[in-house]
Amino acid sequence: MLLNLSLFLLFLTASNITVQAIGVNWGTTSSHPLPPDKVVELLKSNKITKVKLFDADPLVLQALSGSNIGVTVGIPNSMLKSLNSSKKVAESWVHDNVTRYVSSGSSGVRIEYVAVGDEPFQQSYGEQYHPFVIGAAMNIQIALARVSLANQVKVVVPCSYDTFQSESSLPSKGHFRPDLNKTMTELLTFLTKHHSPFFATISPFIIPHRNKNISLDFSLFKETKHSRNDGHRTYKNSFDLGYDTLVTALSTAGFPEMDVVVAKIGWPTDGAANATPSAAETFMKGLMNHLHSKSGTPLRPRNPPIETYIFSLLDEDQRSVVNGNFERHWGVFTFDGQAKYNVDLGQGSKNLVNAQYVEYLSSKWCVVNNNKDLSNATASALDACSTADCTALSPGGSCFNISWPANISYAFNNYYQLHDQRADSCDFGGLGLITTVDPSVGNCRFPVELRTSHSESLYGVCLLQWMILVTINTILHDFL
């Protein structure tokens, strides 16, 4: 009887090791971010137990203190060169962004990973970060070891979906980009030595967006006749295809047993064709069902990724749109924490809980004054969109089909909201008009911004102070 009980407990322990967690990416590239305490409430309300950050904003980390949410703190690419050049800089970063939060015990932050760089190998960056990534990771690892946190906090490097590829689109031909071969071998050796997983982005949305030969249904986990055969293996969705392409790349590089964390995966809801709440809901439900089935993939059956982080928690109106206007619309929630659709993130509830007691600016909008000569209105709108977020006006976007001059009003209003509803930001040479009547049309929402501003964040001040410290340390390092 005791033997059976021991075996049962051993089985439970082994099972817990393989149970994979679902987390979210929390980005803060917003003109008016939802206050961190509201975001942490949102995470708790939806029973989200893991979150991946792209930096180490002190306000965000303070809000996460005592929450028992597992946290990945990020190091921006702009810091890699300094961290690579000096162990002192790495020690300062670890002290300021890890040690001080972890050392508070149960009232501190449960930091699990330090992500070195934000997809620094992304092809659009060229090779500008390649020389610094491994050195920066090593120095952070050494700094963590010096404060006895190396076993508790793992060092990882998030890799973009274009880090690995297959010319035939078949997983069996998967490999890392040739320009990354040497660096990737160094990274995988480092990760293996320190028992850290491989963080990778899987992007099923990008596949049909860029390859018209791939069925949309294939990416959305829909039952389809367009499955793809790779030898004796059959692929029924883009996730398995992308994941196994990475698995083959890892095997080809000599690391077939490497654990994988899907660091970013999601579906945008605006800014492009097929980027809709309906498609996103279909994708997310299909992904959740697939992950929770624990069926794994053809190359790794019954062995799904050890963790998966949904991209993203909230929309971000200041994200770069180099890869497409959809980049600002990955959120499961809108910028103000309201669910775009319903999905069970694995906590047993099909309905997401919205952010509560959100504070907005006044119910005022800026629209075009139809009583004025509008011959130059388009030029004014284009000027407004150079700083404001007008991505919903993109082909396929939620505001693409609103007629002129309503689209001009949309641009005017976003500029007005960006500038905290200042009266002079609705001037546009006399073409603007402030109204208290909501001009939203159908699915095209004219937003009212939050009563918060990124410029008010302590992060900007702390980042400046940290960069000054980095510069001083680097100068001293070079001098000595």
Q: What is the pLDDT of residues 99-116, one digit of tens each?
A: 999 987 789 999 999 999
pLDDT band at 226 (very low <50, low <70, confident <90, very high): confident
Task: Classify 355 as helix, strand or coil.
Answer: coil
Q: Is 430 left (phi over 0), alpha (psi -120 to 50) or beta?
A: left
> Which one is predicted more confidently, 220 or 4?
220
Cβ proximity of 216 and 286 under 8 Å: no
Which residue has 């809709």 as its token pair?
Answer: 276
State residue 11's pLDDT score: 37
Task: Classify 365 as helix, strand or coil.
Answer: strand
Weakest-pLDDT range from 12-16, 97-101, 117-121, 346-350: 12-16
How much is the mean pLDDT over the chain?
90
Rounded CA-CA distance 18/23 in Å is 16
Weakest-pLDDT range from 8-17, 40-49, 108-117, 239-248: 8-17
Task: Classify 81 as helix, strand or coil.
Answer: helix
* Catalytic residue list: 119
Tokens found for residue 341: 């659709």
- Going by their DSSP bridges, the two strands 365-368 and 432-435 should be labelled as antiparallel
- Is 0.85 topped by the overall pTM? yes
Query: Does 65 score more than 50 pLDDT?
Result: yes
State residue 212's pLDDT score: 66
pLDDT band at 183 (very low <50, low <70, confident <90, very high): very high
State residue 453's pLDDT score: 60
Tell me: the pLDDT tens digits for 270-295? 999 999 999 999 999 999 999 999 99
First CA to last CA distance, the chain: 68
Task: Classify 187 as helix, strand or coil.
Answer: helix
In this prediction, residues 390-401 reach a mean pLDDT of 97
Rounded CA-CA distance 15/7 in Å is 12
Question: In Å, what is the CA distance from 118 to each residue of 70, 181, 223?
Answer: 19, 19, 34
State residue 468's pLDDT score: 42
> Which one is predicted more confidently, 469 or 290?
290
Query: Does 12 score more than 50 pLDDT?
Result: no
Weakest-pLDDT range from 146-150, 211-215, 301-305, 463-467: 463-467
In this prediction, residues 249-269 reach a mean pLDDT of 98
Q: State the Cα torsion 81-82-87-90 to the nearest 10°.
A: -100
Note every long-range contact of 214-221, with CB atoms under 8 Å and residues 24 or more positions apart, other chains counting: 214/169, 214/238, 216/274, 216/279, 219/283, 220/279, 220/282, 220/283, 220/286, 221/282, 221/283, 221/285, 221/286, 221/287, 221/289, 221/290
Q: State the Cα torsion 125-128-134-139 to the nearest 10°.
A: -120
State residue 427's pLDDT score: 97
CA angle at residue 160 from 43 to 130, to 5 degrees? 120
In this prediction, residues 185-209 reach a mean pLDDT of 94
pLDDT band at 3 (very low <50, low <70, confident <90, very high): very low
In this prediction, residues 381-408 reach a mean pLDDT of 97
Beta-bridge mates of residue 366: 434
In this prediction, residues 251-257 reach a mean pLDDT of 97
State residue 210's pLDDT score: 66
State residue 223's pLDDT score: 81
Tokens found for residue 157: 């490097």
pLDDT band at 207 (very low <50, low <70, confident <90, very high): confident
Tokens found for residue 452: 């918060």
> Which runs of consecutive H residues, i.e. helices, occur in 68-151?
80-85, 87-94, 100-102, 130-146
Tell me: the pLDDT tens digits for 442-460? 999 999 999 986 444 444 4
Tell me: the pLDDT tens digits for 87-96? 999 999 999 9
> Which one is predicted more confidently, 11 or 279?
279
> Which runs of consecutive H residues, i.e. helices, occur in 205-276?
206-210, 216-219, 238-252
Rounded CA-CA distance 239/283 in Å is 10
Q: What percent of the chain has pLDDT over 70?
A: 89
CA 452, 111, 348, 307 torsion-angle sign: positive
Q: What are phi and psi of 164, to 5 degrees?
A: -120, 155
Cβ proximity of 394 and 400 under 8 Å: yes
Weakest-pLDDT range from 56-60, 219-223, 261-265, 304-308: 219-223
State residue 346's pLDDT score: 72
Query: Can you say how many angstroms the Cα of residue 409 is from the centroid of all Cα atoms in its chain?
Result: 30
Please name the residues in contact with 258: beta carbons below 8 A apart, sequence gap of 6 or more: 188, 191, 192, 197, 198, 250
State residue 105's pLDDT score: 77
Rounded CA-CA distance 408/418 in Å is 16
State residue 350's pLDDT score: 81
> Which runs of consecutive H residues, i.e. helices, occur in 122-232?
130-146, 181-193, 206-210, 216-219
227 CB neighbour count, 10 Å cutoff = 13
Query: Does 478 score more than 50 pLDDT?
Result: no
Rounded CA-CA distance 223/388 in Å is 40
State residue 74's pLDDT score: 98
Rounded CA-CA distance 54/115 in Å is 8
CA angle at residue 323 from 249 to 39, to 5 degrees? 95
Tell me: the pLDDT tens digits for 232-247? 999 999 999 999 999 9
Query: Does 9 score more than 90 pLDDT?
Result: no
State residue 225's pLDDT score: 66
Query: Does 141 score more than 80 pLDDT?
Result: yes
Tokens found for residue 304: 């799904």
State residue 474's pLDDT score: 42
Tell me: the pLDDT tens digits for 214-223? 789 999 999 8
Query: Can you say how many angstroms the Cα of residue 60 is from the centroid of all Cα atoms in its chain?
Result: 15
Rounded CA-CA distance 198/166 in Å is 19
pLDDT band at 345 (very low <50, low <70, confident <90, very high): confident
In this prediction, residues 123-147 reach a mean pLDDT of 97
